[in-house]
Amino acid sequence: MKVTFLGTGTSHGIPVIGCHCDVCMSGNPRDKRYRSAIMVEENGSRIVVDTGYEFRLQMLREGVDNVDAVLYTHSHSDHLSGIDDLRVFSQKRNMTIYSNRPTLEYIEKHYSYAFDTHGFPGTPHLSAVELEPLKEVEIAGIRVMPLPVEHGRVTHMPIYGYRFGSFAYITDCTFIADEVYEALRGVETLAIGALRGRVHGAHFSFEEAHEAGRRIGARRIYFTHINHETCYDEIDSLYDDAWSAYDGLKLEVN
């Protein structure tokens, strides 16, 4: 299975508009980060997790001409706002999007035209299917297990990470319950949201994300959903078993 990091930045992306800090001004291409998303490919099937603002640019950069399904982590707009560009992939047949109930309810309300079979033909044509937490399903021939985690130390927003075999993708997380750690047993490669060095109300810090990865027992930990306080080189040198993901990074996992 091939995993591609489509984007690895937090909600602002890097560079931040109008910001002249060292990271936003960096000449290192790995310090340019689109909003976070990944693409998973196996046996000719292709699943995308999240469609942020740069979804179109991400698809063009990776030369993608077909997507079979989209999994959403949650409904925040940095993970969702590129949804209109799914129109290209859903003209001939409906595309199914998957997530938890609150996320799908938000999407069906705010993008109702994409679910209207008698609407304007130029819109995306989507169907929504709710996934049960921790229940593995097969989507386009790829085994997926939704991982319920919390986004926000006060809000406790229920969102999904996803496990694909020995790889798991968890972003925008502040709490992972014991039963989810149990379900993550055997994960060797972990992509996990790590906003910055300092603690934040809605995201793990590098240290918290690394600690979660250690508890899971992952051999390779990749930080994603990163903000402009720390440059690629600095993040990459923080730990021996954890690295900074970067836009376009591809991993072979099984």
Cβ contact 58:38 at 8 Å: no
Q: Which residues bind Zn ion (CB under 5 A)?
A: 76, 78, 172
Q: Give the strands of the sheet with 126-130, arranged side by side.
A: 126-130, 95-99, 69-71, 45-49, 37-42, 2-7, 250-252
Q: How far is the CB of 66 from Zn ion (least distance, A)?
A: 26
Q: Find all residues with CB under 8 Å of 27, minimum gap 6, and list them.
A: none
The smaller minimum CB distance to Zn ion, of residues 78 and 247, is found at 78
Q: How far is the CB of 77 from Zn ion (least distance, A)?
A: 9
The smaller minimum CB distance to Zn ion, of residues 70 and 142, is found at 70
Cβ contact 158:146 at 8 Å: no
The smaller minimum CB distance to Zn ion, of residues 9 and 165, is found at 9
The smaller minimum CB distance to Zn ion, of residues 42 and 246, is found at 246
What is the rounded distance in angstroms from the CA atom of residue 150 to the CA atom of residue 153? 8
Q: How far is the CB of 142 from Zn ion (least distance, A)?
A: 23
Q: How far is the CB of 203 from Zn ion (least distance, A)?
A: 8
The smaller minimum CB distance to Zn ion, of residues 183 and 202, is found at 202
Q: How far is the CB of 128 from Zn ion (least distance, A)?
A: 19
The closest alpha carbon to 246, from 230, 224, 227, belongs to 224
